[in-house]
Structure 1
Amino acid sequence: MLFLVVALLLLGLVVGTAAYLPWPLTLVLGSLIAVWLVVFAGRERRRRSRTRGV
């Protein structure tokens, strides 16, 4: 859960500073955060499906 909070805070920071950053850098940072969120969601889904079978 902490990872999700940090990722969302970073996303807010990047979106808030997007007006001051060059577009390529904004897109790269946004993509990195999106990948981080997808990996987090995958790990959570895998963990929940593993505990359901027990």
Structure 2
Amino acid sequence: MLFLVVALFLFGALLGTAGHVPVSVTVVGGIAITAWLTVFFLRERRKSGMKGASR
């Protein structure tokens, strides 16, 4: 998952909207997206762990 985040960040920085905004804005956006994905991952992992515990 981390590889995907880095790859999308680099691709966006070179070709996308991130190429038209300051680097600091792009980095803050990347950090925000990474944090959101981490929270999502942990919630999903906790849900799957609870399913296994109820058996």
Q: Same fold by TM-score, threshold 0.5 exceeded? A: yes
Q: Tell me, which stretches of 5 or more residues in structure 2 are unaligned?
A: none
Q: What is the TM-score of this pair, normalised by structure 1?
A: 0.70
Residue 25 (structure 2) pairs with residue 25 (structure 1):
yes
* 1:1-20 C-alpha deviation (Å, 9 max, x unpaired): xxxxxxx8xx67xx221110
Moved over 2 A (4+): none
* 1:9-51 C-alpha deviation (Å, 9 max, x unpaired): xx67xx2211101000000001000000000000000010001
Deviation at 1:53, TM superposition (A): 1.0
Structure having greater relative contact order (Cα 8 Å, sep ≥ 6): 1
Q: How many residues align?
A: 43
CA RMSD across the alignment: 1.9
1:45 counterpart residue number = 45
Q: Percent identity?
A: 40
Select the structure that is richer in helix: 2
Q: Tell me, which stretches of 5 or more residues in structure 1 are unaligned?
A: 1-7
Counterparts of 1:30 and 1:44 in 2: how far apart (Å)? 21
Q: Which has the larger radius of gyration?
A: 2
